[in-house]
């Protein structure tokens, strides 16, 4: 029995809970490369996903995962060749990741997971990341009022923020980057991919367009077969907490959502593929 460890990294509102809910629906009811083991039946404890199931069945967006939450669902999986895996799928409030960045401090629980994890999965919702335009080539023409520039608010560009976060996590997990990294394998999931303006590009190019510095950082630190960039739309369409989406109600949430594979191409309904890639199934 393999008991692989994955670390799921995503800030608040990056779609961790929706992905978890939809992933479970797939594994249970519409299996692809991975499915739940029949002999185990339903996982004993689904309470972490209870809320999201209820919302999705009604065609509504799930609420925010409370900040302090840390829960795990044990998913007994089997792949096409019959190999069995026990995957502990974490769910937590995304603010915990923010506070790693803000406090520059990582709890022992996180650290041991970082060290043990075979793969890291990052969820980035590109459309809600803040990047800044610069005015470098206009400075000379701008009239200077001669005053000392005011102190600036300390808002980081999302590029720098993600690079810093990855550097912190690599440091804490004891991983240096002088040699290209083979481990941890890294899957970057661009969540809410239905919001992207040019979804026909391959996901790694989309990442490079939205977050070029982060893209350079990943490209120049991981060996090319140890990272991959995916487009992910867990729901396929935006849902709101208040209005119902009839497709979800009538067809069931397991019929919704898709991923775009790293090589691009059309929407693939098997939401378990990024995990299968990370686990080398």
| Dist. CA 27–CA 34, nearest whole Å | 7
- Is position 150 an interface residue for another protein (rule: CB under 8 A)? yes
- Is position 103 an interface residue for another protein (rule: CB under 8 A)? no
- Is position 135 an interface residue for another protein (rule: CB under 8 A)? yes
Identify which of 259, 192, 210 has the alpha carbon closest to the alpha carbon of residue 10: 192
- Is position 146 an interface residue for another protein (rule: CB under 8 A)? no
Q: What pairing do the DSSP bridges indicate for beta strands 185-190 and 70-79?
A: unpaired
Verify cis geometry, omega within 30 degrees of 0, for the bond prior to 60: no
| Dist. CA 154–CA 136, nearest whole Å | 19
**Sheet with 70-79, side-by-side order of all strands:** 34-36, 70-79, 84-92
104-133 footprint of another protein as x/- string (CB under 8 A): ---------------------------xxx
Contacts of 155 (CB under 8 A, 6+ apart): 130
| Dist. CA 269–CA 27, nearest whole Å | 12
Specify the stretch interacting with another protein by CB under 8 A; choose among 12-20, 62-70, 86-94, 162-170. Answer: 162-170
Decide whether 70 or 156 has the Cβ nearer to another protein. Answer: 156
Which of residues 144, 224, 250, 266 is near another protein by CB under 8 A?
144
- Is position 137 an interface residue for another protein (rule: CB under 8 A)? yes
List binders of another protein among 217-256 (CB under 8 A): 217, 219-221
| Dist. CA 126–CA 212, nearest whole Å | 12
Query: How many residues line the site for another protein (CB under 8 A)?
Result: 39
Structure tokens at 191: 């969540």
| Dist. CA 220–CA 192, nearest whole Å | 26
Decide whether 47 or 224 has the Cβ nearer to another protein. Answer: 224
190-209 footprint of another protein as x/- string (CB under 8 A): ------------------x-
Decide whether 40 or 131 has the Cβ nearer to another protein. Answer: 131
Name the residues that contact another protein, by CB under 8 A: 131-142, 144, 148-150, 152-157, 159-160, 163-164, 167, 177-178, 180, 208, 212-213, 215-217, 219-221
């Amino acid at each position: 029995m393999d008991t692989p460890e994955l670390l799921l990294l995503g800030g608040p509102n990056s779609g961790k809970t929706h992905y978890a809910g939809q992933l479970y629906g797939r594994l249970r009811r519409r299996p692809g490369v991975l499915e739940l083991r029949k002999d185990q039946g339903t996982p004993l404890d689904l309470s972490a996903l209870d809320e999201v199931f209820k919302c999705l069945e009604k065609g509504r967006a799930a609420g925010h995962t409370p900040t302090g939450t840390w829960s795990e669902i044990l998913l007994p999986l089997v792949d096409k060749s019959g190999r069995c895996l026990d995957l502990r799928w974490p769910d937590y409030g995304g603010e915990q990741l923010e506070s790693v960045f803000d406090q520059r401090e990582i709890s022992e629980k996180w650290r041991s997971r970082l060290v043990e994890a075979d793969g890291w999965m990052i969820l980035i919702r590109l459309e809600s990341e803040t990047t800044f335009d610069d005015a470098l080539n206009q400075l000379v023409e701008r009239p200077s009022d001669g005053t000392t520039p005011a102190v600036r608010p300390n808002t980081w560009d999302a590029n720098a923020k993600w690079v810093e976060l990855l550097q912190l996590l690599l440091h804490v997990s004891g991983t240096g980057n002088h040699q290209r990294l083979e481990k941890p394998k890294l899957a970057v999931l661009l969540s809410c991919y239905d919001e992207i303006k040019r979804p026909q590009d391959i996901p790694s190019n989309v990442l490079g367009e939205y977050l070029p510095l982060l893209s350079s950082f990943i490209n120049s630190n991981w060996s090319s077969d140890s990272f991959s960039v995916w487009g992910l739309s867990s729901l396929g369409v935006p849902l709101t907490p208040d209005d119902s989406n009839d497709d979800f109600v009538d067809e069931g949430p397991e019929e919704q959502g898709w991923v775009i594979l790293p090589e691009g191409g059309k929407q693939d309904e098997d939401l378990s593929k990024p995990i299968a890639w990370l686990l080398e199934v």
